[in-house]
Chains A and B, each alone.
Chain A
Amino acid sequence: MANFFPRWSNWLPLKLAVAGFLIVCGLTAGTWYYVTPKYTKVGYEPIQPVPFPHDVHVNQLGMDCRYCHSFVETAAHSNVPNTQTCMACHQQVQKDNPKLEPVRASWKTGQPVEWVWIHRLPDYVFYNHAAHVNRGISCAVCHGQVNHMPAMYDAKPMSMAWCLECHRHPENFLRPEDQITNMDWKPEDVNPAAFVAKYGEPKGVKEDWSKKKHLTQQEIGQTLKERWNIHPSETCQVCHR
């Protein structure tokens, strides 16, 4: 009887195993890398009706976030400014700039400028801006350094795991309440003596932090967390109600 299987088929099971292994690894790696908000959401930079440059308004003009987003401290929703807020300056400044035509049209007709919503959470998530910015969470924590963005884009994944990172360890993100809209704030900017005089030190710390040269983010965060009694919940109904 002749050989039923040809000679090359001896290696076939091994080759199939290698190929199968590579395909599984490839699919896993691809899914891990691509099927996550870190890929799907981060970097979303839609074409807006007006190419509003945050960098010019914040860095060059020194405007505070709250000039336009005026109710971020009192409302759950951080408002996009109405057309009048734009026109307060742009009736005179850059008044013939063609890029501002949608704003002028809105001013004439009363129809809103149709800005594209970038930082859009799922409709079953109830995020409250006021609760966060009044308790030491800066705009920059979630929106990135907006003052360096010529065009607004999504800088953070805004996934649930990402939210929980901060809800589990808020001390890694808290900062003094008067630095919330300071997009370039760094822990090194804090004067330890003034900080300790104002906020005290967490319980159980023996060392005198006011003598230190710099405070770390953890030290600042831990102090503020205790002083402001911050205990972010991790239960579902806090955000999904």
Chain B
Amino acid sequence: MLRGFLLIFTLAAIAIVAMAGFRGQHSPRPPWELMPDMVRQPKVRAQAPLGFFADGRGPRLPIDGTEPVGYDIPKPQQNAPPEISPSGAPPGEESAHAPLGFSVGTDYYNTGKMGANWGTGIPVAVTAQLMARGQQRFIINCSVCHGLTAAGNGMAKQFGLATVISLQDERIRKMADGEIFNTITHGKNTMMSYGGNVPVADRWAIITYIRALQRSQNASVNDVPPDQRAKLDQPEPAKK
């Protein structure tokens, strides 16, 4: 009798393991929730669907004829160590402008336009921090297509993005900062707008960095400090 029980017990255990599998196995089955009452509340969550509205979307699109007022992007924390203020506006920028993330303002800072023409110049204090921020954001958002040196040879180009321009072109080097700002905000030709991905402050940081890249790739001997020029003619030291 016990032998019979043991047989059934073993077979049942094998059957359960065979059906339920092991931890970590991939499965398209939604996770089993023991008591879903409070776990799933009928409230709106970011980017989640909601049956309340006819189109089934939780987040709403702006109503026709209305304008978004903008919202505060969190500012870097005061007294934080220097290496950790990656979020929000670059330091020194907050006082000059309202911290609108995706602005609808009409001044140069928000449109790149001075009057009817493209303005030029960086409307925030150009600091090492702004440059570092610009580099980081350029690598994230721009280098995929335009390449790390902005030469128009980014990874996406190798995968079939045909019309990537080089930001080292004479045309772009002479282009007004405001027009570049506008291109980032609204896109141009086959480049789509990045206004929804890159906040205003970051757009100016990126432009600052692009200018630095352009200078780095078009440098002449005059850009080298006089006391360093003698070194240019020396052969490169052998690498260890």
List residues of chain A with CB under 8 Å of any chain B CB: 8, 15, 18-19, 22-23, 26, 30, 33-35, 37-47, 61-64, 66-67, 70, 73-77, 79-80, 82, 84-85, 87-89, 91-94, 111-112, 114, 117, 122-124, 130, 134-135, 153-154, 176-178, 198-199, 227-228
Q: Which chain B residues border A91 with CB–CB below 8 Å?
A: 190, 192
Interface majority SS (helix, strand, loop, mixed), chain A:
loop
Query: Which residues, 9 to 67 on B, are CB-close (under 8 Å) to A?
Result: 9, 12-13, 16, 20, 23-34, 38-41, 43, 45-49, 55, 57
A130 to B84, CA, bound (A): 12
Q: Map CB proximity to A onto B126-153 as digits: 1 under 8 Å, 0 otherwise.
A: 0000000000000111001100000000
User: Chain B residues near A75 (CB, 8 Å)?
Assistant: 46
In whole angstroms, what is the CA distance A134 to B81 when docked?
12
Which of B105-113, B116-124, B158-166 forms part of the interface with chain A?
Answer: B158-166
What residues on B are CB-neighbors of A67 within 8 Å?
140-141, 144, 197
Instruction: Pull 5 A–B residue pairs with CB atoms less than 8 Å apart, ordered by A.
Output: A26-B9, A40-B31, A84-B192, A92-B161, A93-B159
CA distance A131 to B39 in the complex (A): 23
Asked if residues B47 and A77 are in contact (CB atoms below 8 Å), the reply is yes
CB within 8 Å of A: which residues of B? 1-2, 5-6, 9, 12-13, 16, 20, 23-34, 38-41, 43, 45-49, 55, 57, 73-74, 80-81, 83-84, 86-88, 101, 139-141, 144-145, 155-156, 159-163, 190-194, 196-198
- Chain A: minimal CB distance from B68 (Å): 15
Contacts of B83 in A (CB 8 A): 176-178, 198-199
> Is the pair B193, A134 in contact by a Cβ cutoff of 8 Å?
no
Chain A residues positioned under 8 Å from B32 (CB to CB): 40
Nearest CB in chain A to that of B9: its residue: A22
Residues of chain A contacted by B43 (CB below 8 angstroms): 123
Please give, as numbers and ranges, the residues of chain A lying within 8 Å of B156 by CB-CB distance: 61, 89, 93
CB of B62 to closest CB in A, whole Å: 13
Q: A227–B27 Cα gap in the complex (Å)?
A: 42
Contact B9 A177 (CB under 8 A): no
Q: How far is the CB of B211 from chain A (nearest CB, A)?
A: 22
> Once the chains are docked, how many angstroms separate the CA of A74 from the CA of B46?
14
Q: A22-B5, A37-B31, A122-B38 are in contact. List 17 more A-B contacts (CB 8 A).
A: A38-B24, A40-B32, A43-B24, A70-B198, A75-B46, A77-B46, A80-B47, A84-B196, A87-B192, A88-B192, A92-B160, A93-B161, A122-B39, A123-B43, A154-B31, A177-B84, A228-B80
